[in-house]
């Protein structure tokens, strides 16, 4: 990549940030499309988030992805919020539109497109989500707006599951309930089982958020984690012959949606996927 004085700057802010693979994704896309742009990662301490957002304007950074722990914190610092980001209550993409900072959320669409690409329909399905954090919130939005029949949110901290469930019942017209992870064992019919926790992520790859007694009841199993590619959660699904997916396609699709917001173009998802696979990962 040849950086010049007029090279446009994009990036991601989070803390910590060094494990993010977003720079691989976007730099591969810029290079492939021969765009004079570069994507960097910025480790921002929580006490510096306001200054970091001001810096987007003053340094004329063209676009920024936002990750943990800032997806909610950036909201009051922006000039405009898309309907989706308002409804989800989180921003993962900021576009600098001539000094006007616009906030978007592409996690939900990234997840929906990822399921569609794998031939999985959301409409009329009974779905269990393990986890009630920021990612689970975007997924509830995606499921609710695509016609899911019911959603059960199972989380370690019951209060957080209740909060997300209350939000869903208030905002969408479908059946949402909640329980702790231990209580999910009573459920019989699961069309789609989703892990939206970080349990099983590298380096704690010996863990699964629920054990196989639950997993074997599902018709399709999705783990938002992509490092490792096959978590213990997915290995259990595999051992029962259940179709399953890791979170890499969601990551690539949400990145492509952000890229489109910034540049008006789609990138080549296969090329980006191949580029990620070339890099070192704990499998
Ligand atoms: P978050 O807001 O911090 O939420 C973390 C969730 O994990 C909470 O529900 C938390 O439960 C649960 N959890 C953490 N440690 C646990 C443990 N030891 N046992 C049981 N539950 C535990 O994080 P997030 O943004 O929602 O991200 C969640 C996961 O999704 C991460 O692995 C992230 O990498 C992944 N993700 C993937 C993509 C993608 O594109 N593939 C996009 C976004 C996120 P409590 O409420 O009890 O703390």
Cα distance between residue 17 and residue 131, in whole Å:
22
Cis omega (within 30 of 0) for bond into 16: yes
Per-10-residue mean pLDDT for the chain, 283 residues long? Answer: 92 94 96 97 98 97 96 97 95 98 98 97 97 94 95 96 94 91 90 97 95 96 95 98 97 98 98 87 45
Please choose from 136, 197, 250 the residue to mutate so as to test ligand 1's pocket, defined by most ligand atoms within 8 A of CB: 197
Quick check: CB of 224 below 6 Å from ligand 1? yes
Distances in whole angstroms, Cα of residue 138 to Cα of each of 132, 135, 266: 10, 5, 22
Q: Probe ligand 1: pick from 196, 233, 251, 273, max atoms within 8 Å of CB?
A: 196
Tell me, what's the pLDDT at 283? 43
Count Cα atoms within 13 angstroms, Cβ side, for 195.
30
In the prediction, which pLDDT does 278 show?
87
Q: What is the pTM of this model?
A: 0.94
d(CA 140, CA 164): 8
Question: Among 34, 71, 278, 279, which one carries the catalytic annotation?
Answer: 71
């Amino acid at each position: 990549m040849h950086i010049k004085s007029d090279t446009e700057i994009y990036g991601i802010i989070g803390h910590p940030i060094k494990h993010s693979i977003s720079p691989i994704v976007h730099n591969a896309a810029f290079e492939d499309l021969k765009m004079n742009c570069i994507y960097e990662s910025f480790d921002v301490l929580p006490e510096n988030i306001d200054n970091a957002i001001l810096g987007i304007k003053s340094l004329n950074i063209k676009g920024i992805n936002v990750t943990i722990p800032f997806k909610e914190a950036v909201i009051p610092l922006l000039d405009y919020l898309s309907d989706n980001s308002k409804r989800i209550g989180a921003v993962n993409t900021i576009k600098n539109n001539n000094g006007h900072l616009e906030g978007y959320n592409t996690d939900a669409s990234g997840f929906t497109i990822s399921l569609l690409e794998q031939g999985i329909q959301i409409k009329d399905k009974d779905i269990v989500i393990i986890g009630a954090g920021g990612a689970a919130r975007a997924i509830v939005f995606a499921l609710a707006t695509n016609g899911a029949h019911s959603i059960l949110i199972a989380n370690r901290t019951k209060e957080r599951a209740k909060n997300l469930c209350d939000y869903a019942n208030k905002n969408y017209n479908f059946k949402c309930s909640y329980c702790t992870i231990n209580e999910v064992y009573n459920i019989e019919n699961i069309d789609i089982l989703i892990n939206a926790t970080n349990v099983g992520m590298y380096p704690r790859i010996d863990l699964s958020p629920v054990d196989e007694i639950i997993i074997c009841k599902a018709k399709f199993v999705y783990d938002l984690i992509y490092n490792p590619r096959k978590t213990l959660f997915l290995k259990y699904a595999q051992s029962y012959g259940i179709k399953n997916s890791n979170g890499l396609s969601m990551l690539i699709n949400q990145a492509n949606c952000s890229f489109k917001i910034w540049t008006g173009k789609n990138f080549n998802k296969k090329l980006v996927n191949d580029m990620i696979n070339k890099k070192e990962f704990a499998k």
